[in-house]
C-alpha cells in the first residue's frame, strides 16, 4: 500500500464519516438504517462493510471519534488560545451557534446519551462531554475562579446549551437558543455576588 493510497483511503473514509454525522444526529442510532447510510455516503453495502467491518455500531463509534476530533479543533482550540477569557468564550459560542444551526440541528451527544443505545457509547459520550467541560473550566480558572466553581459553571454551560437545543426543537423557535448563547459568556464570567448584598 503506497502513501498515496493511504491518504486516499483516509480522505474518503473520513468524508464518509463526516456525512454520517448528520444522519445519526438527525435520526438517532435506531432510526438510522443501512439504507439511509448507503444513500448519505453514496457507497454500497459491501463498500461500507469493507470500511467498517463492525457494521453499524462501528460506524457510530467512528462518528463519535470524528466528533471528538472536531470538538478539539473547532471548539476547544479557540478556548486555549491567548486573549481575554470573554473573547475566547465568545469565539466558542460563534462555533456552537454555527454547528448547531442556531439550535435547529440536534445534538448527537444528547441523542446517544439518552435512549436504548446509551450503554454502547457511554464511554465515548462521557469522554467528549468531560473534555468540553474541562476546556471551559480552564478558561474560568484563568479568570481567577476557584477550580470547583469553574467546573460547576462549565457544567452549567453544557447544561444550558443542551437544554436550549431541546427547547428550540420542541418549541420550533430558535429564540431560546440564541438568548442562552448570547448571555452565556457574561454569565460564566459573572463575579460571585457577596451574600450580604441580597
Partner DNA sequence: GCTACTGTACCGAACGTTTGGTACACTCCA
Partner DNA sequence: TGGAGTGTACCAAACGTTCGGTACAGTAGC
Q: Report the interface residues with a second copy, using CB under 8 A.
A: 26-31, 106-107, 109-111, 113-118, 122, 125-126, 129-130, 152, 155-156, 158-167, 169-172, 176, 179-180, 191, 193, 197-198
Q: Which does 122 bind (CB under 5 to 8 A by kind): a second copy, DNA, none?
A: a second copy
Total residues contacting DNA by CB under 7 A comes to: 25
Minimum distance from residue 160 beta carbon to DNA (Å): 33
In the chain, count of helices (H) and strands (E)?
10, 0
Decide whether 23 or 79 has the Cβ nearer to a second copy: 23
Decide whether 23 or 157 has the Cβ nearer to DNA: 23
198 binds DNA (CB under 7 A): no
Query: Cell 467541560 maps to which residue?
Result: 133
Distance of CA 130 to the CA centre of its chain: 11
Helix axes 175-189, 118-142, angle to 10 degrees: 50
Query: Cell 440536534 maps to which residue?
Result: 106
DSSP 105: S
Q: Is 135 left (phi over 0), alpha (psi -120 to 50) or beta?
A: alpha
34 binds DNA (CB under 7 A): yes
Q: Is 139 left (phi over 0), alpha (psi -120 to 50) or beta?
A: alpha
Q: Exactly one of 12, 40, 166, 167 binds DNA (CB under 7 A); which one?
A: 12
Q: Kindly list the residues in this chain that would bind DNA in the complex (CB under 7 A).
A: 1-2, 4-5, 8-9, 12, 32-36, 42-47, 49-51, 53, 55-57
Amino acid at each position: 500500500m503506497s502513501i498515496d493510497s493511504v491518504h486516499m483511503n483516509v480522505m474518503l473514509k473520513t468524508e464518509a464519516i463526516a456525512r454520517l454525522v448528520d444522519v445519526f444526529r438527525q435520526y438517532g442510532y435506531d432510526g438510522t438504517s443501512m439504507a439511509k447510510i448507503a444513500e448519505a455516503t453514496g457507497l454500497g453495502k459491501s463498500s461500507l462493510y469493507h470500511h467498517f467491518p463492525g457494521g453499524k455500531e462501528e460506524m457510530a463509534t467512528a462518528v463519535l471519534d470524528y466528533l471528538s476530533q472536531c470538538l478539539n479543533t473547532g471548539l476547544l482550540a479557540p478556548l486555549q488560545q491567548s486573549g481575554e477569557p470573554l473573547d475566547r468564550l465568545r469565539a466558542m459560542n460563534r462555533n456552537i451557534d454555527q454547528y448547531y444551526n442556531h439550535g435547529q440541528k440536534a445534538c448527537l451527544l444528547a441523542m446517544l446519551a439518552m435512549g436504548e443505545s446509551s450503554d454502547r457509547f457511554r464511554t465515548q459520550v462521557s469522554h467528549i462531554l468531560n473534555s468540553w467541560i474541562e476546556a471551559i473550566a480552564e478558561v474560568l480558572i484563568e479568570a481567577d475562579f476557584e477550580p470547583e466553581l469553574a467546573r460547576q459553571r462549565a457544567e452549567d454551560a453544557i447544561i444550558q446549551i443542551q437544554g436550549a437545543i431541546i427547547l428550540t426543537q420542541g418549541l420550533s423557535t430558535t429564540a431560546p437558543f440564541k438568548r442562552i448563547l448570547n448571555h452565556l459568556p457574561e454569565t460564566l464570567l459573572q463575579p460571585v455576588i457577596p451574600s450580604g448584598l441580597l
